[in-house]
Structure 1
Amino acid sequence: MADSPLAWWRRQGLRFRLTVAASAVLAFALAISASVLLTVLDRTLIDTVDESTRQQAQAVRVAADAGTLTSPITTHDGTIVQVIDAKGRITHVTYGTDRLVPLLGVRARAEVLRSGRATMLDGRPYAIPGPLRVVVLSADRGQTVVAARPISEIQTSLGTAGRVLLVGTPALIVLLAVASWLMIGRTLRPIAALRKGAADITHTARSRRLPVPQSRDEVHSLATTLNGMLARLEEAEQRQRALVSDAAHELRSPLASIRLQLEVALGHPEGQDWPETAEGVLEDTMRLARLAEDLLALARLDERGGVPARREPVHLDEVVRQTVDRYGEARLTACDPVVVQGDALDLSRVLTNLMDNATRHTFSKVEVALTADGVLTVADDGPGIPEQDRERVFNRFTRLDSGRSRDEGGTGLGLAIVRETVLAHGGTVVLEDAAPGLRAVVRLPLSR
C-alpha cells in the first residue's frame, strides 16, 4: 500500500523540507508579485494613454468651439481625431483618418459621453492594426470630438514584461532554492556536530560533553542545555556508583560477621553457645535489614527526583505526637498545630531518623518541640558534633570517628534521608550546638 503524501513528507530530512517550504513560499510570493506588477503596469500605461488622448481631444474641442479648426487636424503623438457635426457628418479629421465612417456610432458615442471614461475599440475594421482607446467629448453647435490612440505598443511591452517574468521567476526560485539548501546546510552543521558528539559519547567516557558552537544562537543554547543535562546525569551516575560501592562495603561487614559466627558454630558444635550465636546472627541480620530499608528509601527519593510521593495536607503535630510516644526517653516540650503539604509517611520517617539518632547518642534526655511557624527541633544532651562536621554528616554513609559512634550505630544513611526528604518538601534542616549536646532544626513551609 502506497504511503500518503503527508507520510512521505514527514520522512524527508529537515534540510529538504525547509528548502522546499522556502522555495514554495517564494514561488507563491513571486507569482502574486508578478501578477500585481503586470496589472498595475497595464492600468498605469492605459491611464497615461487615456489622459494624453483626452488632452488632444480637449485641444481639438477648443478649436472647434472657436471655429479655427484646420483640415487635416495635426497631432504630435499619433492620436486619431474625428470631428462630427450635429447631422452625423465627419467635418474634420487627422491625416489618413477615415472621413466617411465614424469610429463610434451614435449610440456608442452617447454611452461614452455619459460615462465620461475612455472605451476600448478594435481598430482592424478601420484599417488600424491593434486595439484603440477612444475618448469622446462634446463641443458647441452639436459637434462631437472623437479621439483615439492605438495601444498595440502597450500590449507588446506588457507581453515582453510577462515573458521576462515567466523566464526570470523560475530562475530566481531555483537560485534561491540552491542558496537556501547551502545556507540551511550550514545552519544545521552545528546540529550535525551535536549528533556526532552524542554518537561518540560512550558509557566509559571520562568527559561526556557535546561540542558547543561559538555562535550565540538557539543551537548554542541547545548544546549548553544538553551539556547541563549530561553533567547532571554524570553526577547522578557518580552518586549511584558511590552508593553501590558504599552499600557493598557496608554489606560486607555484617555478612562476614554472620559467616564467621556460623562457621565457628558449625566447626565446634559441642562447645558452642547456640543462643548467643543466634543473638549475634540476629543482630547482624537486623543491621542488614535496616541498611536495605534505608537504601530503598534513598532509591525512592532519587527516583522521584526530589519530589514528595504525595502532596496532601499533613497535620504535622499529630505525626510528632505519634512518633514521640514510641520513645520513652523523649519529652515533647511544645507541639503547636501545624499543617504542611507533603507525604505523611516521609515526614514521619524524618522525625523517626532524628529520634533514633538522638536516642542513640544522648546521655539522659531527648527533647522535641514543634512551633506554629513550622519549626521542628530534636535535641539531645550527648557529646554533640564538631561544627566543621555538622554539614558532612548529611552525606551518605558518613559516620564520625568521635564518641558518637558505637557498635550499635546506624547505617550512616539516616541523616542523608532526612536532608533529601526535607528538601523535597521545600524545607531545610541544620544541626546546631545544644550546649550540651546537639539540636536538629527542621523548617517546613506551612500549607496555605
Structure 2
Amino acid sequence: MAADPPVPGRRVTAPLAWWRRRSLRLRLTLTASAALGVAVALAAGLLVLVLGRALISSTDDVAYQRARDVATLADVGRLYDPINVPDGTIVQVLDARGRITHVTPGADRLVPLLPGRSRGAPSGGRGTFVDGGPYGIPGPLRVVAVQADQGRTVIAARSFKDVSDSITTTIHMLLVGTPLLLLLLAVASWMIIGRTLRPIAALRRGAEEVSGTARTRRLPVPEARDEVHDLATTLNAMLARLEAADTSQRALVSDAAHELRSPLASIRLQLEVALGHPEGQDWRETAEGVLEDTLRLSRLAEGLLTLARLDERRRPHRAEPVDLGDLVASTAERYDGAQVVVGAVEPAVVRGDAMDLGRVVVNLLDNAVRHARSRVTVELRRRDRAMVVVTDDGPGVPEADRERVFHRFTRLDDARSSDEGGAGLGLAIVRETVLAHGGSVHLEDAGPGLRAVVLLPLA
C-alpha cells in the first residue's frame, strides 16, 4: 500500500504523529506520570544529597569536638597515653616535629592519619576523606585536624562506613520504591482521568443518538458544576436553538406552501374555465384575475426573499446616516387619498439601510390603512432614541394577539376574511428589520384603534 503523500507546508515527525493519534486519557496519564516521575526523581536526588551532606556534617562535628577536647587537655597538661575517647573516635596527637606522642587504643602509632601538608592547613571543622585500609580500618574515614599549643596537632577520625552503608541503603530503597510509586500513581491517574472523562463519553454517546428526526433530544448533563457541565449546558442550548430554527423552517415551508396553493389554484381554475369555454369567456376579465393572483404571488415571493435575506445577515445591508424625518414624510406622500396624516416630525438621524427602513414605514402604513376606518397618523419623535409611531382608528388587536401578529404568516380572523389582506409577512419583516438595526417594535392600544411604535438608536 502506498504511503500517504506529505502535506505541503506541514512536517510532522513520526513520534509526534504517534502521540497525536493516542487517546486523550492515555496522553493525560503519560504526561502526568512523566511529570510525576521527573518530580519524584528530583526529590529523590535532593533527598540523597541533603541526607549525605547532613551525615557528613554530623560526623565532622563529632570528630572536631573530640579533637578540640583532646587539644584542650593537651594545653593544660592533662593528656595521658592512651587517650580515652568513649565513642570510638580515633585520635592521634603529634608534636611539633610530626612524631606521634599520644593515641587512642588501637590507633596507629607510626603513620599519621593526615600527611604533613594537610595537618597545617586550617580546616574550620570540615573533615577530609581518608582510606582506612592502610590503617586496618574497613571503609573510609572522616579526618579532622586541630592545632594545639607548642606546635602540637590533634588528629581525630571517625569511620564513615556505617554512614556510607545508610546512604547506599537509602539509594537502593529509592531505586526500588520510586518505580513502584510511579506505577501506583500512573494507575491512579488512569482511573481518575477515566472517571473525569466519563461525562464526556456520555456526551459523545448522547450526540450519536441525536438524529434529524429526534428533535427534542438533549445531551446528558453531569451533576458536577464543572467545565463538562458548562459544555453540556452550552451544547443543549445550541440544540434548542437548532430545534427552534428547524421548527421555524418547517412552519415557514408549510405556511408558504399553503399561501402559494390558493393563488395557484385560482390561476389554474380561471385558465381551465377560459380554455374549456372560450366562446363565452371575457378574456380581459380572465387576464385581470390572473394578473391579480400573479401580483399576489410576486408579493409573497418578495416577502419570503426579504425574510431570508434578514435571517442570513442579521444586520443592515448598508450602515449609513438616514434622516428619518425625510423618510417618513416622503413615504406618507405616496398615500394620497388614503387619509394618511403626518403629525409631529422631530429631527432624528439613525444609521442603517434607507431602503430597509423605508420598507418598515411602508409595511406599517399599509397595515394601518388596511384596517383604519377613517384616519391614519404617522409621527416621528426624538427621545433617547428615535420613535416612529403609526396610529389608526380601526378595530385594533386584542392584547393577547399583539405579540403573535409579528410571527410569519400570522393573520387574525378579520384579516383572513379581507380581500385585500396580505400573506401575514408585513409585520414579521418589520420586526426582523428593526431588530437588525438594533431597535425594537411593539403594539399599543390607541383607544380606539392600534398604535405601532418603532424604537431605533440614534446615530
Category of TM-score, reference length = shorter chain: over 0.9
Aligned equivalent of 1:406: 418
CA displacement at 1:370 relative to structure 2: 1.2
Aligned equivalent of 2:159: 150
CA displacement at 1:311 relative to structure 2: 4.7
For 2:318 and 2:158, the matched residues in 1 are separated by: 89
Instruction: State TM-score, norm by structure 2.
Output: 0.91
Aligned equivalent of 2:63: 53
Asked whether the 8 Å contact 1:56–1:79 carries over to 2, the reply is yes
- Shifted more, 351-360 versus 329-338: the winner is 329-338
For 1:338 and 1:405, the matched residues in 2 are separated by: 38
Matched, 1:84 2:94: yes
The 3-state SS of whatever aligns with 1:377 is strand
Aligned equivalent of 2:309: 300
For 1:78 and 1:359, the matched residues in 2 are separated by: 119
Percentage identity across paired residues of the two chains: 65
Aligned equivalent of 1:159: 168
Which residue, 93, 114, 117 being the options, matches 2:103?
A: 93
For 1:390 and 1:207, the matched residues in 2 are separated by: 28
Matched, 1:315 2:323: yes
Instruction: Give the 3 Å change call, closer, same or farther, for CA 405–435 of structure 1 in structure 2.
Output: farther
AA at the equivalent of 1:325: E
Q: For each residue in 1:110-158, what CA deviation from the matched residue of structure 2 results, as whole angstroms up to 9, or x when unmatched?
A: 22x1655322223333333322211111111111111111212211111
Q: For each residue in 1:302-349, what CA deviation from the matched residue of structure 2 results, as whole angstroms up to 9, or x when unmatched?
A: 334x44445554433343334333332433323323233443333222
AA at the equivalent of 1:109: R
- Shifted more, 154-163 versus 323-332: the winner is 323-332
Asked whether the 8 Å contact 2:83–2:102 carries over to 1, the reply is yes
Matched, 1:204 2:216: no
Aligned equivalent of 1:389: 401
CA displacement at 1:429 relative to structure 2: 1.3
Structure 2 residue runs of 5 or longer lacking an equivalent are 4-11
Asked whether the 8 Å contact 2:368–2:391 carries over to 1, the reply is yes
For 1:400 and 1:196, the matched residues in 2 are separated by: 45
The 3-state SS of whatever aligns with 2:378 is strand
AA at the equivalent of 1:338: A
CA displacement at 1:77 relative to structure 2: 2.2
Asked whether the 8 Å contact 2:91–2:107 carries over to 1, the reply is yes
- Structure 2 matches for 1:52-71, cutoff 5 A? 52-71=62-81
Q: For each residue in 1:223-275, what CA deviation from the matched residue of structure 2 results, as whole angstroms up to 9, or x when unmatched?
A: 22211211121111111111111111111000000000111111111221111
Aligned equivalent of 2:191: 182
Matched, 1:335 2:345: yes
Q: For each residue in 1:10-37, what CA deviation from the matched residue of structure 2 results, as whole angstroms up to 9, or x when unmatched?
A: 1111111111011001101100000110
Instruction: Give the 3 Å change call, closer, same or farther, for CA 121–348 of structure 1 in structure 2.
Output: farther
Asked whether the 8 Å contact 1:358–1:379 carries over to 2, the reply is yes
- Shifted more, 373-382 versus 168-177: the winner is 373-382
CA displacement at 1:206 relative to structure 2: 5.2
The 3-state SS of whatever aligns with 2:112 is coil
Aligned equivalent of 1:226: 235
CA displacement at 1:425 relative to structure 2: 2.8
Instruction: Give the 3 Å change call, closer, same or farther, for CA 413–190 of structure 1 in structure 2.
Output: same
Aligned equivalent of 1:248: 257
The 3-state SS of whatever aligns with 2:129 is strand
The 3-state SS of whatever aligns with 2:137 is coil
Matched, 1:73 2:75: no
For 1:84 and 1:444, the matched residues in 2 are separated by: 107
Asked whether the 8 Å contact 2:415–2:421 carries over to 1, the reply is no
Structure 1 residue runs of 5 or longer lacking an equivalent are none
The 3-state SS of whatever aligns with 2:414 is coil
Aligned equivalent of 2:334: 326
The 3-state SS of whatever aligns with 1:88 is coil
The 3-state SS of whatever aligns with 2:363 is helix
The 3-state SS of whatever aligns with 1:91 is strand
Instruction: Give the 3 Å change call, closer, same or farther, for CA 308–172 of structure 1 in structure 2.
Output: farther
For 2:80 and 2:192, the matched residues in 1 are separated by: 70
CA displacement at 1:176 relative to structure 2: 1.3
Instruction: State TM-score, norm by structure 1.
Output: 0.93
Matched, 1:170 2:179: yes
CA displacement at 1:388 relative to structure 2: 3.3
The 3-state SS of whatever aligns with 1:55 is helix
Which ranges of 4 or more aligned residues in structure 1 deviate by more than 6 Å?
Answer: none
Asked whether the 8 Å contact 1:383–1:403 carries over to 2, the reply is no
Aligned equivalent of 1:434: 446
The 3-state SS of whatever aligns with 1:399 is coil
The 3-state SS of whatever aligns with 1:384 is coil
For 2:152 and 2:52, the matched residues in 1 are separated by: 32
- Shifted more, 379-388 versus 68-77: the winner is 379-388
Instruction: Give the 3 Å change call, closer, same or farther, for CA 141–403 of structure 1 in structure 2.
Output: closer
Q: For each residue in 1:50-72, what CA deviation from the matched residue of structure 2 results, as whole angstroms up to 9, or x when unmatched?
A: 11111111111111111111111
Aligned equivalent of 2:354: 344
CA displacement at 1:76 relative to structure 2: 2.3
For 2:249 and 2:108, the matched residues in 1 are separated by: 106
Which residue, 429, 453, 456 being the options, matches 1:444?
A: 456
Asked whether the 8 Å contact 2:67–2:154 carries over to 1, the reply is yes
Instruction: Give the 3 Å change call, closer, same or farther, for CA 314–109 of structure 1 in structure 2.
Output: farther
For 2:146 and 2:49, the matched residues in 1 are separated by: 28
Instruction: Give the 3 Å change call, closer, same or farther, for CA 307–11 of structure 1 in structure 2.
Output: farther
For 1:397 and 1:184, the matched residues in 2 are separated by: 53
Which residue, 7, 10, 14 being the options, matches 1:4?
A: 14
Which residue, 420, 423, 435 being the options, matches 2:432?
A: 420
- Structure 2 matches for 1:119-134, cutoff 5 A? 119-134=128-143
Asked whether the 8 Å contact 2:123–2:145 carries over to 1, the reply is no
For 1:348 and 1:8, the matched residues in 2 are separated by: 61
Asked whether the 8 Å contact 1:384–1:404 carries over to 2, the reply is no
For 2:352 and 2:274, the matched residues in 1 are separated by: 49
